[in-house]
Chain A
């Protein structure tokens, strides 16, 4: 059907004129919700707690050394044949290149996108995290492929404590802001209860999601 005819039908049914203004309305979450905000310490602890409730695991790392030790520990245990990582300078602050040198690493934007289907671990940063719900937000661009966090069995996200917001609304694009081609809000591993209500993990996306929260600014 022709677009204008489609819209005209709606207009007619609603009894509205073409170009008629839109009445004001109460936008977004209730004020009691948008008005609240957690202290930075509470944001971190709430995020860690809720992320775990979602089936993920998050650790607060006091410094880069600690973050490296943990990451190294994971990778030693997982012994992944291939690791996918965001490309360019996206993870520069976390200084993990040295640590990854021992592994087969595919960098987004350098290795062919298709090859990420065979990664076992995906390491990404994030655009923001949300304390309320234990959520990671990834925004896609040339260096931040969607496949990096979506295709591997284990997703490890590196983030700064200051990236953690209280609620979702703070992370969502503001009016007029340029919106990335895709925004992914991930809260824990892929899950399904479609077989007799029995929870199973990793049905399509990662079966494990880890977050390493760097408590201090990188050096």
Chain B
């Protein structure tokens, strides 16, 4: 539960230069790499079109494909659990863990497990949970939450990491990357082998075969899925693809969008638990399928497409807001543009109603999205919904009415301009309709406010028209009054 609003959280993030530097460095790197790899790969827009089409088709027939997926998981020997909400999902996994008398659970990175607060539920039962993705491991030691979908520890410096690892038992560690990863490898290796249960997310569930597909660069998901006796998969219900043929498309879209890699290092496809005669792989496979507010988006023309998301994080990397404040300021599991849309959709009500306002609506997210989710449009539509539900700030409505009163009638508008009061009205126009804050306050604190023109365009129009009608082409020089370059922008 977030106590403060996004504005306050953003403000404190802005006062952390180390964070900003780290976030900007990382997102720069990721987006440059993405630009390069998609350029080399070629015909990116056609790939995006295909990706969007496949996702749209799947979600529009989700009942069918989900049923097919579940049936095929079972016929391959796995168990399927359906969870209506976070509580049910966490309970299902806790039940499995208790039945197996689990003491240690190892996990690979999963946003959905964060969404259902799985670690807390397991720890409440006295079960130790260890994150094995290097970045997740780091932030787990720090007692924090991920700040980026793909690189959760984006905000940690190597010195901080060294301290965390030293506390966790690493002796005489330097800040050298090799030394640090070496410590993680040794520590986590022993845990993989002694863990009772491995929990993974699911990048894609293939309906035609009941296959769970996992993408990692470290290979930790393979360890988590193969070494413990029991493998538990937690997945959002939308994570389905109809066929392996479709997986080919996403094997390109996901890593290229996420990190600018041509291909993910490990793509692993699990179809049921190990089979007769096989000596490794989990003996038992459980797939927990989560709704938690997702089904509410189905059939909603404005928001259904958010379920097309493949959690690549590309929208974060190009977002000029995320770039300034990082992931934690969003106050929820899913940061960045996708989070500003998804979080209030999954959690309607006042708590996250301010997230859609943390955007200048620049549309960079849409442009980056491999499945072309119109996030910028959704942000506007969420604001509209919040207005309809009375979740917008008081005073805003009055200001918007005022705007309408003046701007819906050219006569009134002209009168206001003439009377020189437009400055105030422009609070409604560009200053945002917020009567409680003084006109343009947030804006003028750091910028010079423009000066109202002595004569508006429409007031000067009759004269201008007259002049151009009479004059020859090209017009005589020097008749246009103030030199054009003396824009009010630069004036004191």
Binding site for B on A (CB under 8 A): 1-3, 6-11, 13-16, 20, 22-23, 25-30, 32, 50, 53-54, 108-109, 113-114, 116-117, 133-135, 140-142, 145-147, 150, 167-169, 172-175, 179-198, 200, 202-206
Contacts and interface: CB of A to CB of B under 8 A. Distances in A.
A15 to B, nearest CB: 6
B366 interface: no
Contacts of A27: 54, 242-243, 245-246
Interface of B: 22, 25-26, 29, 43, 46-47, 50, 53-54, 57, 60-67, 70, 76, 80, 82-84, 88, 132-135, 138, 151-153, 157-158, 161, 177-178, 180-181, 184-185, 188-189, 193, 208-209, 211, 217-220, 222-223, 225-227, 237, 242-249, 251-252, 259, 262-275, 277-281, 289, 291, 295-296, 298-299
B177 A195 contact: yes
B237 A190 contact: no
A134 B133 CA distance: 24
- Closest 10 pairs between A and B when the two form their complex, measured CB to CB: A205-B219, A28-B245, A194-B135, A142-B277, A13-B298, A133-B263, A25-B57, A1-B84, A6-B82, A185-B267
Contacts, number: 247
Instruction: Give the dominant DSSP class at A's interface.
Output: loop
A205 B278 contact: no
**Most chain-A Cβ atoms within 10 A of its Cβ — which of B153, B177, B209, B262?**
B177
Contacts of B47: 30
B189 to A, nearest CB: 8
Contacts of B259: 193
A26 B246 CA distance: 9
Given A28-B245, A194-B134, A205 B46 contact: no
A181 B270 contact: yes
B193 A183 contact: no
B217 A190 contact: yes
13 contacts: A1-B83, A6-B84, A13-B295, A14-B298, A16-B63, A22-B61, A28-B246, A172-B247, A179-B269, A179-B271, A181-B272, A193-B151, A195-B177
Contacts of B157: 196
Given A140-B281, A181-B272, A147 B249 contact: no
A181 B275 contact: yes
Contact of A181 (B61, B222, B273): B273
B265 A29 contact: no
Given A200-B181, A204-B188, 16 more contacts: A1-B88, A6-B82, A11-B63, A23-B60, A25-B242, A27-B245, A53-B262, A175-B243, A181-B76, A181-B274, A181-B278, A193-B259, A200-B180, A202-B181, A204-B189, A204-B220
A197 B50 CA distance: 31
